[in-house]
Amino acid sequence: MARAALGVSLSLASRSSMLRFHEMQSKLHPDKFAQATEHEKEISDEHSRRLNESYKTLSEPLLRAKYLLKILGETDASGRDLDPSSLMEMMEWNERVAEMSSADELTAEKDIVQKQIDNILA
């Protein structure tokens, strides 16, 4: 839902996603429908709400991870339905991140994880 609404790939939300969000929000914002019928206002409100939720999902790492788990078939993003190897891998990533002492290390790890995600989804 989130990626389809913003027309983006599964890579992290980018500047183009942000620009697309603002473009769509300017068209859908409820203020643009002040003179519209009540039904049109309701439709505008709903679409604007969904667009905001989609952008938030793509922009916030935890929400994004939960969404990716959901679309990859993991029904419970709390981790209860994950197989033990997936849980172990997540714990190892958390440990590596906790031990990092610079933004460069974090960026390098993020790039590695993003490549792994891209390979899985390819």
Instruction: Output the DSSP codes for 90-102.
Output: HHHHHHHHHH--S
Q: Are residues 34 and 71 in the same domain?
A: yes
Q: Are residues 112 and 53 in the same domain?
A: no
Indicate the number of domains in the chain. Answer: 2
| CA distance linking residue 39 with residue 84, whole number of Å | 49
CA 34 to chain centre: 30
Q: Are residues 66 and 111 in the same domain?
A: no
Q: Are residues 67 and 119 in the same domain?
A: no
Question: pLDDT digit string (tens) for 3-54?
Answer: 454 444 455 556 777 788 888 888 888 888 889 999 998 998 999 999 999 8
Q: Are residues 107 and 70 in the same domain?
A: no
Q: Are residues 42 and 66 in the same domain?
A: yes
Q: Are residues 106 and 52 in the same domain?
A: no
Instruction: Output the six-digit token pair for 97.
Output: 């991140």
Of 83, 75, 77, give the one whose Cα is nearest residue 61.
77
Q: Are residues 35 and 60 in the same domain?
A: yes
Of 49, 48, 78, give the one whose Cα is nearest residue 62.
78
Of 92, 120, 118, give the one whose Cα is nearest residue 10.
118
Question: pLDDT digit string (tens) for 86-108?
Answer: 777 777 877 777 787 888 888 88
Domain that holds residue 41: 1-77
CATH code for the domain in which residue 21 is found: 1.10.287.110
| CA distance linking residue 75 with residue 37, whole number of Å | 39
pTM: 0.49
